[in-house]
Amino acid sequence: MSENTATALATLSPSLKAAVLAEALPYIRRFHGKTIVVKYGGNAMTDENLQRGFAHDVVLLKLVGLNPVVVHGGGPQIDAALKRLGKQGTFVQGMRVTDAETMEVVEWVLGGQVQQDIVTMINSFGGKAVGLTGKDGALITARKLLMADRENPGKELDIGFVGDIVRVDAAVVKALQDDQFIPVISPIGVGEDDGMAYNINADVVAGKMAEVLGAEKLVMMTNTPGVLDKEGNLLTGLTASRIDELFEDGTISGGMLPKISSALAAARNGVNTVHIVDGRVEHCLLLEILTDQGVGTMIRSA
């Protein structure tokens, strides 16, 4: 066991350490060399203990032979920065309305403050993280997203500098993985025609990144136990047809719409399993990936 691995394990509680050591070996064998895309967001990004736990999990996954790729959000941090400017964040169908001033804030917060905090935290625990935005290496090419107006069928809503992904060129990500780095990606794309920066929903970026990289798993961290039914009960396993039903009856709505839509698209396009996990549970990545204990909802294409 390497010194860094021992250090990472030493920070875990005794009970969790024992569970990981007892159960992890078959999972490590199964997923060795595989890519795991993690959408990092919610409380796990704002609670100091959860931040440290996430960094430990990512470093440990890398040290035992998996290839984690982190795609992060930053909604609360963007809202706080906007508030300091006297602006109020608004959303349409889970997407942030992004005018030019808001886009400047998004770039500064996501591509600067938040990304560097994550990179620094991972590196402080023995990892080798490198921050990227969609502008780096033409990673994410985008175009303006026009959303269907649900109240006026046939019409579209312009919500500003919000992007729809045209393509992902993951060459720079693969190069970093080959050199044993952990990519940390901010969800900002570059316009295909205008070269402008576009704010892209982090769940959408994570889902598309998982597809392009041929990831074994896509793990999306949330502030809920997973996908809940209308009575608030956790749905531990979902198929594509069941998700369509939950969209139709309104069970899945608001901010969960882009998350579950992206999860479903990833599952239908080659990602083996997609997990919606409770990021408020300490070391949820280890629990989900390296033990028998699940902490959320697993989605399969069929």
Q: Please tell me the distance from the alpha carbon of residue 98 to that of residue 108, in angstroms, as a whole number.
A: 14
Annotated ligand binding at 96? The verdict is: yes
Under 8 Å CB-to-CB from 37, ≥6 apart: which residues? 68, 69, 71, 206, 209, 210, 213, 215, 217, 218, 219, 271
Rg for the chain, CA atoms, rounded = 19
Q: Please tell me the distance from the alpha carbon of residue 58 to that of residue 283, in angstroms, as a whole number.
A: 10
In terms of Cα–Cα distance, which of 279, 286, 246, 302 is closest to 31?
A: 286
Q: How many CB atoms lie within 10 A of CB 249?
A: 11
CB 259 within 8 A of CB 222: yes
Annotated ligand binding at 29? The verdict is: no
Annotated ligand binding at 199? The verdict is: yes
Sign of dihedral through CA atoms 280, 286, 289, 295? negative
Q: Buried (b) or exposed (e) across 35-57, using 16+ Cβ within 10 A?
A: bbbbbbbbbbbeeeebbbbbbbb
DSSP state, 14? Answer: H
Q: Within 13 Å and on the Cβ side, how many CA atoms surround 71? A: 29
Q: Please tell me the distance from the alpha carbon of residue 263 to that of residue 253, in angstroms, as a whole number.
A: 14
Q: Buried (b) or exposed (e) across 198-225, using 16+ Cβ within 10 A?
A: bbbbbbbbbbbbbbbbebbbbbbbbebb
Annotated ligand binding at 150? The verdict is: no
Burial bucket for residue 231 (CB in 10 Å: 0-12, 13-18, 19+): exposed
CB 262 within 8 A of CB 164: no
| Binding-site residues from annotation | 74-75, 96, 199
| Binding-site residues from annotation for substrate | 74-75, 96, 199
